[in-house]
Structure 1
Amino acid sequence: MAWDIAVKTKVYHLLANEIFFRIYNGTYPPGVKLSSFPVFAKEVGSSPETVRKAIYELQKHGIVERNRLGFFVTSNHEKVLEYRDSYLAAVEQRYFEAKQKVEETVLEINQGQF
């Protein structure tokens, strides 16, 4: 059996998701200014570059907006809901892929291939 290991999740994606969850649950309410990259990095125990990538990822999806004063949480609730739905769809897809892999393994075991 071939190895099926795919490490695709980057640390900045994990951080972006965590920031998003804090936006979604109100820890960072709409319109609030986010800390600078170095300050944020100290808070989360990461590098400023990782924080920058995470914030830019959220900015790309409209969750965070940038102006001359810094980065702010969007006030557009629809963007937040869209991002939530796309995140949940991706999690669901990974779940079904893992479930299929388990079912195939069980089938192989039941057919005596192990």
Structure 2
Amino acid sequence: MILRHRNVERYLNGTYQRSIGLTPFELTFGVNMRSKGDKLIKIIEEEHIAKLSEERHEVREKVRESIKKMQEENKENYNKKRKEATSYEPGNLVAIKKTQFSQESKLNPKYLKPYEVIMRNV
């Protein structure tokens, strides 16, 4: 009698209830009830998991391509505004900009004295 009672209880708890839109088991535990002996459901779940994994892989590939495309566009836009590096030749004079300032140096020059380029590394 107890075995039948458990089967009935399992059936009732696993039956969709229109009033709550879920099964009582799903409402209580947040997941659908599974029967240990139901191998067909396990096969279907494995196929579903494999399909989801494949779809996730496809989505990730599309995202990689999209990110790569955006990176190329950003690089192209950035390089449009970029200036070419200044090329110095031996004998040119260059001034080095000061990077550290103090409050007292407001009227001091912003550049160090001009230096003569002796050699150019290529």
**Structure 1 length as normaliser, TM-score?**
0.33
Flag the structure with larger Rg: 2
Larger RCO of the pair (alpha carbons < 8 Å, separation 6+): 1
Name whichever structure is richer in helix by fraction: 1
